[in-house]
């Protein structure tokens, strides 16, 4: 079973905005401690 942080990592990696980096084998860079709160802020297009 995956942890929540692993799920978030995979969702970030699968995001279309990261496609070019993922194809190059570049993984998202982020750090979250086990006690961190994660807030997801959606990006709105006008």
Geometric angle at alpha carbon 27, from 19 and 10, rounded to 5°: 75
User: DSSP string covering the chain, please?
Assistant: ---HHHHHHHHHHHSGGGHHHHHTTPPPP----TT------PPPP-
Instruction: Output the pLDDT for position 42.
Output: 82
Instruction: Output the pLDDT for position 46.
Output: 67
Instruction: Output the pLDDT for position 13.
Output: 87
Instruction: Output the pLDDT for position 24.
Output: 93
- pLDDT in tens for each of the 46 residues of the chain? 777 778 888 888 888 988 888 889 988 887 777 788 878 788 777 6
- How far apart are the C-alpha atoms of 8 and 2, rounded to whole Å? 10
């Amino acid at each position: 079973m995956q942890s929540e942080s692993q799920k978030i990592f995979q969702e970030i990696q699968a995001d279309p905005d990261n496609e070019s980096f993922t194809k190059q084998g570049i993984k998202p860079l982020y750090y979250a401690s086990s006690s961190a709160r994660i807030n997801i802020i959606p990006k709105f297009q006008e």
